[in-house]
Protein backbone atom coordinates (compact mmCIF):
# COMPACT_ATOMS: atom_id res chain seq x y z
CA UNK A 1 0.00 0.00 0.00
CA UNK A 2 2.93 2.36 0.57
CA UNK A 3 3.93 1.85 -3.06
CA UNK A 4 0.38 2.76 -4.17
CA UNK A 5 0.56 5.93 -2.07
CA UNK A 6 3.83 6.86 -3.71
CA UNK A 7 2.42 6.17 -7.19
CA UNK A 8 -0.56 8.34 -6.29
CA UNK A 9 1.69 11.22 -5.20
CA UNK A 10 3.82 10.94 -8.33
CA UNK A 11 1.09 10.41 -10.99
CA UNK A 12 -2.07 11.94 -9.54
CA UNK A 13 -1.71 15.12 -11.63
CA UNK A 14 -1.22 13.11 -14.83
CA UNK A 15 -4.38 11.08 -14.23
CA UNK A 16 -6.31 14.20 -13.19
CA UNK A 17 -5.24 15.96 -16.39
CA UNK A 18 -6.38 13.04 -18.54
CA UNK A 19 -9.73 12.87 -16.74
CA UNK A 20 -10.27 16.62 -16.94
CA UNK A 21 -9.60 16.48 -20.67
CA UNK A 22 -12.44 13.99 -21.15
CA UNK A 23 -14.95 15.03 -18.47
CA UNK A 24 -14.32 18.79 -18.47
CA UNK A 25 -15.63 18.85 -14.88
CA UNK A 26 -13.14 19.18 -11.96
CA UNK A 27 -15.23 17.29 -9.39
CA UNK A 28 -16.00 14.40 -11.69
CA UNK A 29 -12.33 14.27 -12.67
CA UNK A 30 -11.22 14.09 -9.01
CA UNK A 31 -13.62 11.17 -8.44
CA UNK A 32 -12.28 9.45 -11.53
CA UNK A 33 -8.67 9.80 -10.27
CA UNK A 34 -9.66 7.92 -7.10
CA UNK A 35 -11.42 5.22 -9.14
CA UNK A 36 -8.42 4.77 -11.46
CA UNK A 37 -6.03 4.35 -8.51
CA UNK A 38 -8.44 1.87 -6.88
CA UNK A 39 -8.42 -0.14 -10.13
CA UNK A 40 -4.62 -0.15 -10.12
CA UNK A 41 -4.48 -2.64 -7.24
CA UNK A 42 -6.12 -5.39 -9.32
CA UNK A 43 -4.73 -4.32 -12.71
CA UNK A 44 -1.09 -4.32 -11.57
CA UNK A 45 -1.51 -7.94 -10.43
CA UNK A 46 -2.67 -8.94 -13.93
CA UNK A 47 -0.32 -6.88 -16.14
CA UNK A 48 3.42 -6.75 -16.45
CA UNK A 49 4.12 -3.07 -16.97
CA UNK A 50 7.35 -1.82 -18.55
CA UNK A 51 6.46 1.85 -19.05
CA UNK A 52 4.29 2.74 -16.06
CA UNK A 53 3.60 6.34 -17.03
CA UNK A 54 2.36 5.44 -20.55
CA UNK A 55 0.40 2.47 -19.25
CA UNK A 56 -1.28 4.56 -16.52
CA UNK A 57 -2.14 7.25 -19.05
CA UNK A 58 -3.88 4.60 -21.18
CA UNK A 59 -5.69 3.12 -18.16
CA UNK A 60 -6.99 6.58 -17.21
CA UNK A 61 -8.05 7.31 -20.77
CA UNK A 62 -9.89 3.97 -21.06
CA UNK A 63 -11.58 4.56 -17.71
CA UNK A 64 -12.87 7.96 -18.86
CA UNK A 65 -14.07 6.63 -22.20
CA UNK A 66 -15.92 3.78 -20.50
CA UNK A 67 -17.59 6.26 -18.15
CA UNK A 68 -18.64 8.43 -21.06
CA UNK A 69 -20.14 5.42 -22.84
CA UNK A 70 -22.42 4.37 -20.00
CA UNK A 71 -26.15 4.66 -20.78
CA UNK A 72 -26.70 7.49 -18.26
CA UNK A 73 -24.23 9.62 -20.25
CA UNK A 74 -25.79 8.97 -23.63
CA UNK A 75 -27.91 11.90 -24.68
CA UNK A 76 -31.12 11.23 -26.52
CA UNK A 77 -32.73 13.75 -28.78
CA UNK A 78 -36.40 13.75 -29.58
CA UNK A 79 -37.25 14.19 -33.22
CA UNK A 80 -40.53 14.82 -34.89
CA UNK A 81 -41.41 12.12 -37.36
CA UNK A 82 -43.55 14.49 -39.39
CA UNK A 83 -40.45 16.48 -40.43
CA UNK A 84 -38.29 13.45 -41.20
CA UNK A 85 -38.60 11.91 -44.63
CA UNK A 86 -37.95 8.21 -44.87
CA UNK A 87 -35.73 6.79 -47.58
CA UNK A 88 -38.86 5.21 -49.00
CA UNK A 89 -40.55 8.60 -49.39
CA UNK A 90 -37.43 10.17 -50.87
CA UNK A 91 -37.14 7.34 -53.37
CA UNK A 92 -40.83 7.61 -54.26
CA UNK A 93 -40.51 11.38 -54.73
CA UNK A 94 -37.53 10.88 -57.05
CA UNK A 95 -39.40 8.26 -59.08
CA UNK A 96 -42.45 10.51 -59.41
CA UNK A 97 -40.27 13.46 -60.43
CA UNK A 98 -38.53 11.37 -63.10
CA UNK A 99 -41.91 10.14 -64.35
CA UNK A 100 -43.09 13.75 -64.62
CA UNK A 101 -39.93 14.70 -66.57
CA UNK A 102 -40.49 11.79 -68.96
CA UNK A 103 -44.08 12.92 -69.58
CA UNK A 104 -42.87 16.46 -70.31
CA UNK A 105 -40.11 15.15 -72.56
CA UNK A 106 -42.58 12.98 -74.44
CA UNK A 107 -44.89 15.96 -74.94
CA UNK A 108 -42.00 18.17 -76.09
CA UNK A 109 -40.67 15.52 -78.48
CA UNK A 110 -44.06 15.78 -80.18
CA UNK A 111 -43.52 19.51 -80.77
CA UNK A 112 -40.32 18.94 -82.78
CA UNK A 113 -40.23 18.62 -86.55
CA UNK A 114 -40.18 15.07 -87.88
CA UNK A 115 -36.50 15.39 -88.86
CA UNK A 116 -35.50 16.78 -85.44
CA UNK A 117 -37.52 14.15 -83.54
CA UNK A 118 -36.01 11.29 -85.58
CA UNK A 119 -32.44 12.64 -85.29
CA UNK A 120 -32.79 13.14 -81.49
CA UNK A 121 -34.26 9.64 -81.05
CA UNK A 122 -31.51 7.98 -83.07
CA UNK A 123 -28.64 10.01 -81.55
CA UNK A 124 -29.63 10.17 -77.88
CA UNK A 125 -31.93 7.22 -77.33
CA UNK A 126 -30.37 4.67 -79.68
CA UNK A 127 -26.77 5.93 -79.44
CA UNK A 128 -26.20 6.21 -83.20
CA UNK A 129 -23.40 8.40 -84.55
CA UNK A 130 -23.89 11.10 -87.17
CA UNK A 131 -22.74 8.84 -90.03
CA UNK A 132 -25.16 6.06 -89.04
CA UNK A 133 -28.03 8.58 -88.88
CA UNK A 134 -27.05 9.84 -92.37
CA UNK A 135 -27.33 6.26 -93.68
CA UNK A 136 -30.64 5.58 -91.89
CA UNK A 137 -32.39 8.85 -92.81
CA UNK A 138 -30.90 9.62 -96.19
CA UNK A 139 -30.20 13.21 -95.10
CA UNK A 140 -26.76 14.71 -95.60
CA UNK A 141 -24.31 15.06 -92.71
CA UNK A 142 -24.93 18.82 -92.21
CA UNK A 143 -28.71 18.29 -92.15
CA UNK A 144 -28.32 15.58 -89.46
CA UNK A 145 -26.04 17.81 -87.38
CA UNK A 146 -28.46 20.72 -87.70
CA UNK A 147 -31.48 18.54 -86.81
CA UNK A 148 -29.73 17.25 -83.67
CA UNK A 149 -28.56 20.69 -82.54
CA UNK A 150 -31.85 22.46 -83.25
CA UNK A 151 -33.89 19.55 -81.90
CA UNK A 152 -31.88 19.48 -78.67
CA UNK A 153 -32.26 23.26 -78.21
CA UNK A 154 -36.01 23.18 -78.96
CA UNK A 155 -36.51 20.19 -76.66
CA UNK A 156 -34.63 21.90 -73.83
CA UNK A 157 -36.56 25.17 -74.24
CA UNK A 158 -39.91 23.37 -74.38
CA UNK A 159 -39.15 21.28 -71.27
CA UNK A 160 -37.96 24.31 -69.29
CA UNK A 161 -41.05 26.29 -70.25
CA UNK A 162 -43.36 23.37 -69.44
CA UNK A 163 -41.73 22.77 -66.02
CA UNK A 164 -41.95 26.49 -65.18
CA UNK A 165 -45.62 26.61 -66.08
CA UNK A 166 -46.38 23.50 -63.98
CA UNK A 167 -44.65 24.69 -60.83
pLDDT of residue 84: 55
pLDDT top residue among 88 and 164: 164
Q: Please answer whether residues 110 and 162 qualify as being in contact, where contact means their C-beta atoms are separated by less than 8 angstroms.
A: no
Angle ∠(28,34,38) on CA atoms, nearest 5: 140
- Topology of domain 2-73, per CATH? Rna Polymerase Sigma Factor; Chain: A (1.10.1740)
CATH of domain 89-166: 1.10.10.10
pLDDT of residue 160: 92
pLDDT top residue among 56 and 8: 56
Q: Hey, CA dihedral for 133, 137, 139, 145, is it positive or negative? A: negative
Q: Is the pLDDT of residue 112 over 90?
A: yes
Annotate 128-151 with DSSP letters as a single string.
Answer: --HHHHHHHH---HHHHHHHHHHH
Domain ranges in the chain are 2-73, 89-166
pLDDT of residue 89: 61
pLDDT of residue 94: 74
| pTM listed for this prediction | 0.45
Amino acid sequence: MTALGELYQRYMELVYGVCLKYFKEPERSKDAVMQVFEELVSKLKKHEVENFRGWLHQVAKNHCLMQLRTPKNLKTVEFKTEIVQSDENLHLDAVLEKEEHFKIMEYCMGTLTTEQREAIRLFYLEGKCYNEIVELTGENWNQVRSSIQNGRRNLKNCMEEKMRSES
